[in-house]
Structure 1
């Protein structure tokens, strides 16, 4: 039976973590505070644009804190193993912190896909660095395995305790809400979740990291549960995957057809589960009666050879006609790494399992920055591809040009197209970015600018989603004179209120129409689709005045006002703003974002 740790035990562990890992504790606090503050921010209020900018900063702080936590942890473990003096240890820590600060000001993950990828790659590499940093010297294979066994089990334990703790607290909040009529909103649950995931879980994990690395090399204990899990769960699953993949490979050879894209994910999944299984049962291969493990090891890497060939064929099928992108770059990197690892374990007598995380970490870091990085190679490949098809009139090239341009603008910015024009695209991009508008609107303008600059028309091939926003002429200062009450309407939720015995129920289950039920019989039906389409037609006829924002127009207030009299009360529904998308001649999913009020006047 699982027993949760006592408060005294948790407090002792907290003191241990603060003393042993002070910088890591600071990063945990920063991430937790930023996450909780992020939850508090209102995304749809009057300060939504300001809050959106602040949210980007908070997200970046959370991501960089994660990098800082893993990087400093790896370096601290290395320093502990090498028995560095406090001065040298703090010098390394300061270097790591300065590196994280540099990354914070250098990267822009909210608006730059390349930076998102860089952070993801660095996070993966730093986690791998934690796994082998105390055991970078030759030998100590058993110590390395025992260390990672402890980390693996500690991680699972932290996850289990976190789930149980959050579940218990969430149930307690529900009970308080139901028994004492205390309004507990969803943000409270999210904040509790953030504190447990970003605060409690990593601190609990850090408290269980081994301190005596030399003792680990002498450790011979092997968890029986881990053996059973690997032997009866992981390996049978792998066998099923292998059978499916081998039969599929035979099908390809018989039908002589190229592999489907899904096969890449299946092969990588098989390889990951297989290598994980081999790592989990590694110490058992020298024990008597476990000769099947050696056989399985050889069999696994032998069977990887045809699967790697199949993986390379699947990648080539996508790269040859469409060029390299970041995802295909990573697939190629994984395929090459699997090839090298397979050759090593098939023909090397040393069988050094430390090579697995070390080699993968090095390759991952090489993909972060430089001419060989994922972003640089992908950008170069797609620019080269665009140069070949830009002036072509072939049907297939005409279809490909818009997708290539959209990829380059969305992943690498408008300035990536500078080789194709004399216009200063960097300046144009800076002007667009300086607009006081939502990011998706800026991205849309950039794509439209690219198509206009390169004289590419994708309307007939890929009908673009066009956003329209219509504001009431009194949107900023709605007239409420003569009314007694006002009810704000949330665009995304159904609303149920009771006013002087009249039940008000606003139904948004159907986005095409909005139904306001006023009592048992009275209804106020508003055809949102009709309002939106008629307004779009007025735009096309140039009968509406536009604002400074992209595709935003003013509508007379009376066209967005609807009234109904019920029981000596006048209910007036006023739409301040309606936003939607249109694709060609049809609406995009009949979805509308609305800001509205319900005004009530006693007659």
Structure 2
């Protein structure tokens, strides 16, 4: 019992020190916890404002860590700790001001934010080791152990509390179901990060108590040594042999892969470098051989991957995912060469280079999004020019364009539309809507590949009526139908009034495959809308059988835009694949509309 009390006291003291040591980070964690608990109490999806605040708190938490480690490493900064934290707070506020005018948290904002967070994480690992003040391998080991321990403790704690809540609910009295998400939020958003921070020693301190904690923290656990030396290293080695065998096969057959290699090598490189850093603190034969061999094996494997990605780039242009695969490939080659020359002495440069590459990928004009946008616009221009549809910056509608041109044009425009990048195409009309204006502007409707379906192949799905539907947060509900036999024109709009403002919901059958739902204000301007084809087609591709009964969550399409939200819950879906005169989609769905300002 005394031992248990001592352990609790030790944990509380450690977390108390973490609160004083990382004030900005802890404030961000507290804010995030409160916001999430507030959203749980509302039983609603987060509004745009709360999404922006959550992203800001995420950035603020990592800025706080970078600020603290910088003040501990650099003596001049340690004397101006309030100033450093003030600058970090201003940077956090500046990030929020950048988000403020955004109409939505787009994929671009999400990727840029998480790449910036990754760069800050790399800085957290590198700063204590600047000019070899502290061994990078020990710093990485301590962070790895701290994360593992915090996750393990939090997992056990959350499972135990959940079991207690369930037992009380069954045996004693009824407990609100929200108790579980509240508990998970407090444990995983507040406790887990705080406990992780409490396990980190002051890497650059000369005080005796800090040196003692550092000695304890950098101890290499026996179970981790076994895991790295006798499990992880053999697995990476075996995977390397498979990739090298495939490399030899390619050299013999001269048949280069067309894309499937990229993700496999990316995971291999990331896992291999992590094992490399962890193995650098070990002194056994397995670790020594791995440190000598892995960087040299990594180089040809990544070169093979880059050639594979190059084939995809030549055929389909640059996208964000391919950009990052190439960038990580270049990073892996640079690191492989560097570690081949001076392995352990240069390990800290892995984190520094990773941070530099990450920052490079989000700063225009060479960032992932600008490069991808320019590449895809150039690609569609070349396709249209080769088919005589685009000449001297002007579009010439062509109904008899080749099938490949129709499909590729549709795919590229869909990609740019999802990225909100159609406005960058100078030769497109203003306010161009690809679902409404394609035939008028290009001479043909949006065209999609049939993915090799037979003429009689079909897919159907229906809503599981035995499961409840969550309608909280929405103000209007109506049922709509769309069928292939209906004319390609707008149906009679559904008019309604909400908080004194007139609206109407419009269903338009754009062509035999696509239908679009939009909500318009009293002047007829669209305030929110979505097409149905992509969601339904993705549902068909992921379905396990031609006929399925699916849950409301699987059958729901949710869209947020301009402080409004739209939810389409499909009741029945029927898809026929084949020739255009036979193919088509039939839908029936419940449409929910809500104004987040009300």
The normalised TM-score by structure 2 is 0.71
Contact 2:462/2:570 (<8 A) preserved: no
Task: State the distance in 2 between where 1:175 and 1:544 align.
Answer: 54
2:86 to 94, 97, 102: 94
Match of residue 242 from structure 1:
240
Q: 1:361 aligns with which of 348, 355, 359?
A: 355
Deviation at 1:180, TM superposition (A): 3.1
Contact between 1:74 and 1:126, CA under 8 Å: does it hold in 2?
yes
Q: Which residue of 1 aligns with 2:438?
A: 451
Structure 2: gaps (5+ residues): 388-400, 451-459, 468-478, 496-503, 508-516, 520-567, 577-581, 593-598
Query: CA 1:291 to 1:40, structure 2 compared with 1: closer, same or farther past 3 Å?
Result: same
Report what 1:335 is aligned to.
329
> Are 1:182 and 2:174 counterparts?
yes
Identify if the C-alpha distance between structure 1 residues 196 and 591 changes in structure 2 by more than 3 Å, giving closer, same or farther. farther
* Alignment pair present for 1:401 and 2:409: yes
| Map of 1:296 onto structure 2 | 290
Distance 1:400 1:157 in 2: 49
**CA offset digits 1:444-482 (Å, max 9, x no partner):** xx542563674364444359xxxxxxxxxxxxxxxxxxx
Structure 1 residue 306 displacement after superposition: 2.2
Tell me which residue corresponds to 1:153: 145
Among candidates 159, 165, 170, match of residue 173 of structure 1 = 165
Aligned residues: 476
User: Counterpart of 1:208?
Assistant: 199
1:230-285 deviations in Å (ceiling 9; x for gaps) = 11111111122112212222332333212153322222222222222221121335
Indicate the residue corresponding to 1:283 in structure 2.
281
**C-alpha separation in 2, matches of 1:534 and 1:294:** 65
What is the aligned counterpart of 1:549 among 505, 523, 533? 505
Q: Quick check: 1:267–1:307 contact (8 Å CA) kept in 2?
A: yes
The more displaced of 391-400 and 581-590 is: 581-590
Report the TM-score when normalising by structure 1: 0.71
**Is the 8 Å Cα contact of residues 29 and 199 (structure 1) preserved in structure 2?**
yes
Tell me the distance in 2 between the aligned counterparts of 1:344 and 1:276: 16
Q: CA deviation at 1:366?
A: 1.0
**Deviations for 1:290-312, whole angstroms, at most 9, x for unmatched residues?**
35544322221221232112111
Q: Once the two structures are superposed, what CA deviation does each residue of 1:400-451 show, in whole Å capped at 9, x if it has no partner?
A: 111111111111344233x123x444xx8xxxxxxxxxxxxxxxxx542563
Instruction: Measure how far apart 1:106 and its partner are.
Output: 1.5
Rounded to whole Å, the distance in 2 between the matches of 1:515 and 1:324 is 45
Superimposed CA distance per residue, residues 109-150 of structure 1 (whole angstroms, 9 cap, x where no aligned partner):
9442221110121111111111111222x22352x3222222
Task: Quote the offset at 1:101 in angstroms.
Answer: 1.7
Q: How does 1:55-66 map onto structure 2 within 5 Å? A: 55-66=47-58
Q: Which runs of 5+ in 1 are unaligned?
A: 44-51, 429-445, 464-508, 517-530, 555-576, 596-603
Aligned mate of 2:382, from 388, 400, 403: 388
Counterpart of 2:505 in 1: which secondary structure? coil
C-alpha change, 1:3 and 1:368, in structure 2 (3 Å) is: farther
Aligned position for 1:140: 133
Does structure 2 retain, via aligned residues, the 8 Å contact 1:151–1:209? yes
Tell me how far apart the structure 2 counterparts of residues 237 and 226 of structure 1 sit (CA, whole Å): 15
Q: CA deviation at 1:13?
A: 3.1
Name the structure 2 match of 1:26: 27
* C-alpha distance 342-455 of structure 1, shift in aligned 2 (>3 A): same
- Aligned-pair RMSD on alpha carbons? 3.5
Asked if 1 retains the 8 angstrom alpha-carbon contact of 2:483 and 2:586, the reply is: no
Shift in alpha-carbon separation, 1:343–1:454, aligned structure 2, 3 A: farther
Q: Which SS does the other structure have where 1:191 is aligned?
A: helix
Does residue 12 (structure 1) correspond to residue 5 (structure 2)? The answer is no
Residues 514 and 130 of structure 1: is their aligned pair in 2 closer, same or farther, counting only changes over 3 Å? closer
What is the aligned counterpart of 1:83 among 30, 50, 75? 75
Q: CA 1:175/1:230 → structure 2, altered by over 3 Å: closer, same or farther? A: same
Q: Which has the larger radius of gyration?
A: 1
**1:345–1:407 CA distance, 2 compared to 1 (3 A):** same
The answer to whether the Cα contact below 8 Å between 1:405 and 1:450 also exists between their aligned partners in 2 is no
Query: 2:42 is matched with which residue?
Result: 41
